[in-house]
């Protein structure tokens, strides 16, 4: 039987389990303060943010509502064409709600920008975003310019990462930590 994880696939651990737990607790505390007295609608973008949002909402001490949507991007072409498609839409009505979008990683920022526009057109009372990871890219128009309100960790621009919800061809989502994935 193949051992898990497969040796050779995974590179260094970038963010350990305890470090993730501590940061998620901090984010939950900050969100609880910022939304005090309100009932935010937390929208997780499937599948990558499923594990993160499960921990995050349990760190928020407010009566939240949780909903999910799923997007698909058309491969590499997406980055140029700007095409993001919603493949599973929300069950909850966004209008009049304090909406918080939860992403796994903001890379080019395309998905997030698209979702902000899509949900922003549905009359939410407020619209903010939270991402576990933000690619540390200083280029103009890159993720550093993306309108993210809450960031867990910044990661090096070149690293492709897996674990804690993030996959490589659907594998490794259930790792408890975040590791670099070797593509060579
Ligand atoms: P963006 O639209 O910001 O360019 O891309 C965001 C999406 O790309 C993420 O939600 C995620 O699915 C995918 N992605 C970008 N970088 C990585 C990475 O390093 N690892 C994994 N597993 N997915 C990534």
Ligand 1 close to Cβ of residue 110 (< 6 A)? yes
Mean pLDDT of 10-39: 97
Tens-digit pLDDT profile for residues 72-84: 876 554 455 668 8
CATH number reported for the structural domain that contains residue 141 in this entry: 3.40.50.2020
Which amino acid residue places its CA nearest to atom 9 of ligand 1? 105
Is the confidence at residue 88, as pLDDT, over 60? yes
Q: What number of helices (H) and strands (E) belong to the chain? A: 4, 9
Which amino acid residue places its CA nearest to atom 12 of ligand 1? 48
Ligand 1 close to Cβ of residue 104 (< 6 A)? yes
Instruction: Report if residue 6 sits inside a domain.
Output: no
Between CA 171 and CA 130, with CA 104 as vertex, the angle to 5 degrees is 170
Structurally, the chain folds into a number of domains equal to 1
**What pTM value is reported for the model?**
0.91
Instruction: Report if residue 17 sits inside a domain.
Output: no
Active site residue 107: yes
Instruction: Report if residue 19 sits inside a domain.
Output: no
Instruction: Report if residue 158 sits inside a domain.
Output: yes
Tens-digit pLDDT profile for residues 116-173: 999 999 999 999 999 999 998 755 555 556 789 999 999 988 889 999 999 999 999 9
Domain that holds residue 118: 27-173
Residues written for the chain: 184
Mean pLDDT of 34-39: 98
Ligand 1 close to Cβ of residue 105 (< 6 A)? yes
Q: How far is the CA of 38 from the centre of ligand 1 (A)?
A: 30
Instruction: Report if residue 70 sits inside a domain.
Output: yes
Is the confidence at residue 20, as pLDDT, over 50? yes
Instruction: Report if residue 145 sits inside a domain.
Output: yes
């Amino acid at each position: 039987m193949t051992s898990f994880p497969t040796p050779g696939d995974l590179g260094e651990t970038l963010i350990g389990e305890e470090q993730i737990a501590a940061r998620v607790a901090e984010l939950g505390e900050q969100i609880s303060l910022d939304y005090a007295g309100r009932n935010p609608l937390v929208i997780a973008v499937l599948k990558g943010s499923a594990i993160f949002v499960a921990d995050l909402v349990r760190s928020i001490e407010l009566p939240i509502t949780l909903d999910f949507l799923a997007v698909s991007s058309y491969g590499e072409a997406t980055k140029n064409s700007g095409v993001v498609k919603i493949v599973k839409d929300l069950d909850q009505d966004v209008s009049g709600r304090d909406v918080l979008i939860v992403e796994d990683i903001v890379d080019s920022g395309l998905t997030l920008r698209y979702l902000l526009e899509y949900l922003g057109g549905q009359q939410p009372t407020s619209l903010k975003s939270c991402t576990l990871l933000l690619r540390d890219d200083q280029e103009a128009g890159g993720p550093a310019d993306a309108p993210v309100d809450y960031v867990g960790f910044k990661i090096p621009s070149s690293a492709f990462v897996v674990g804690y919800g993030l996959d490589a061809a659907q594998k490794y989502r259930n790792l408890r930590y975040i590791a670099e994935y070797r593509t060579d």
